[in-house]
A and B are shown apart, each in its own frame.
Chain A
Amino acid sequence: MSSIGTGYDLSNSVFSPDGRNFQVEYASKAVENGSTSIAIKCKDGVVFALEKIVTSKLLVPGANQRIQTVDKHIGVVYSGLVPDGRHMVSRGRSEAYNWRSTYKQAIPVDSFADRLGSYTQAYTLYNSVRPFGIATILGGVDEDGPHLFMIEPSGSFWGYHGAAAGKGRQTAKNELEKLDLPNISARDAVNEAARIIYLAHEDTKDKEFELEISWVSASETGGKHQHISAEHLAEAKKFAEQATSDEDDMEE
């Protein structure tokens, strides 16, 4: 960060002499501080999971959901500035709608990632806007099966077997790599996702958090993206608590 304060970091769309776009890098900082979100591509679908730090016990438990649906078959979760995430989802919904009115069919997931990637990139081009302070994780099931992508504030995106963003991403990535992806079933992926969020939370253990999980799977949800049921969530939590406490025992 030696170039901080030399003036090249004060405006979006400006390169520093060594070819960096500082405002985009700073936007990534907002992502890194955000709460952890992950997604797993499984055999016939995608599972999303999110750690929500409880900033006040006056918040209504279970409300304030943050994993959102685009069209019927795509789920989106993000880490970073939450309002920016909602903006991204709104844009995603209009993209999906426009695709439908043109082609009379649901948007393929890769085309969807492409469109949102371009949109994100456009916000690095002008000094009249700021880049998105989020990493967007999107996935869904289309004719070609399940797909999972993650878009960074720069607009670049890749396809993933397992994706993680936010504070606990490093722990999460380590755990995701241990899984047998994408051969895992959707139900197992839900449990693993819960466990990984619990594990990734260990670094900020002093803060309470809520777990949010959604999925889209050909066999389990008929290709529609939706939150898992309350009972299923409780089950996943139990699994995660059990698994993480076992791990603690092993360390001690």
Chain B
Amino acid sequence: MFRNSYDNDSVTYSPTGRLFQVEYALEAIKQGSAVVGLVSKTHAVVVALKRNAEELGSYQKKIIKVDNHLGVALAGLAPDARVLSNFLRQQAMSSQMVYKRPLAVSRAVYAIADKAQGNTQQYGRRPYGVGLLIIGHDEAGPHLYEFLPSGSALEYRGAAIGARSQAARTYLEKKFDTFPDLSLEELIVEGLNALRDTLAQDKELTLKNTSIAYVGKDTPFTLLDDDKVVDWLAKLDGVSRKSNPRPTGGEEAAEGTTTEGEPAAAGTTAAATDAPADAAPDADTMDTTE
């Protein structure tokens, strides 16, 4: 009866000023498989882990090209991502049609962020149930943005969303200082390293479950799947998750209460960069189901 009654729609604030429906939508992202994004001075890269619902089914696409200089990777409800990326394609076409120039990445991101905000303030709508990592290249260089159903859009040097993505973030936080000067090839490998950290103990990156996309100056948005990722997977070092070993057995650790944007080391630069390799297990607190 007195269950939380402030969480039935997105037009009701809780007494503390929270919007539970929006917060729940953010949880939907964590139901999706992980995607990782990162940028150097010249390129932006996303890598994604694909899932198939059943053995005979195909793998769900995780990366969608929007324009020659722009694409998105999704975690959460794929149909919502299709709606958003179709909208982005229209925006990109319109920019090309009216102004004869590619849509700036920030404009693209804020266009969907503002759209998403509308769904959190109007009755009879639901927030989008998907998070996106958007990569693109414009006059200012390569960009990586994170889009959230709350209508938030932030630019990152490296980001990861989706199931068990905290492990990837931990990896990125450890290594992001080196990203600006990496070559495209090294950047992709770092992305795959981070993505691999999100895998459950018995899983590996394979040509079937891995997607890679990149974009840069004079490098149009390129999406690699299946056979085309084989060579990239070969570049990973042989030892699985070397950078982030897990304690065996402790796999089903207590469900974490940590939420997005609250890395343990926020604020203390030294603590995170110098963290010992085994400092990551508390990252592994998320749902392990596929």
Contacts and interface: CB of A to CB of B under 8 A. Distances in A.
Interface of A: 1, 4-5, 9-12, 22-23, 26-33, 54-60, 63-64, 81-84, 86-87, 90, 123, 127-131, 133, 206-208
Contact of A133 (B5, B17, B267): B17
B234 interface: no
Nearest to B263: A56
Contacts of A81: 19, 150
B13 A26 contact: yes
Given A10-B6, A26-B14, A59 B155 contact: yes
Nearest to B18: A30
Given A31-B17, A64-B155, A82-B152, 8 more contacts: A10-B6, A30-B17, A54-B266, A57-B263, A83-B117, A83-B150, A127-B11, A129-B122
Given A23-B13, A83-B152, A87-B114, A128 B122 contact: yes
B156 A58 contact: yes
B173 interface: yes
A123 to B, nearest CB: 8
A152 to B, nearest CB: 13
A150 B154 CA distance: 26
Contacts of A208: 266-267
Interface string B213-229: 00000000000000000
- Residue of A27, A60, A208 contacting most chain B CB atoms (<10 Å): A60
Contact of B17 (A32, A64, A206): A32
A86 B152 CA distance: 10
B14 to A, nearest CB: 7
Q: Main secondary structure on chain B at its contact with chain A?
A: loop
Nearest to A133: B17
Contacts of A57: 173, 176, 263, 265-266, 269, 272
A10 B152 CA distance: 25
Interface string B104-126: 00000010011011101111100
Contacts of A206: 267
Contacts of A10: 5-6, 12
B113 A29 contact: no
Contacts of B10: 130
A26 B172 contact: no
User: 4 closest Cβ contacts across the A-B interface?
Assistant: A83-B151, A29-B17, A30-B17, A26-B13
12 contacts: A11-B12, A56-B173, A58-B173, A60-B156, A83-B116, A83-B117, A86-B114, A123-B121, A129-B122, A206-B267, A207-B266, A208-B266
Contacts of A84: 117, 121, 151
Interface residues of B, number: 45
Given A58-B176, A84-B117, A86-B110, A33 B122 contact: no
Contact of B157 (A12, A58, A123): A58
A29 B122 CA distance: 20
Contacts of A60: 155-157
Contacts of B263: 56-57
Contact of B15 (A1, A82, A87, A130): A1
Nearest to B272: A57
Given A27-B17, A84-B117, A128 B124 contact: yes
Nearest to A128: B123
Contact of A87 (B18, B117, B155, B266): B117
Given A64-B154, A87-B121, A128-B124, A12 B12 contact: yes
A25 to B, nearest CB: 8
B17 A83 contact: no
B252 interface: no
Contacts of A131: 13
Contacts of B123: 127-129
B16 interface: yes
B191 interface: no
Nearest to A206: B267
A58 B157 CA distance: 5
- Residue of A31, A58, A90 contacting most chain B CB atoms (<10 Å): A58
A31 B122 CA distance: 19
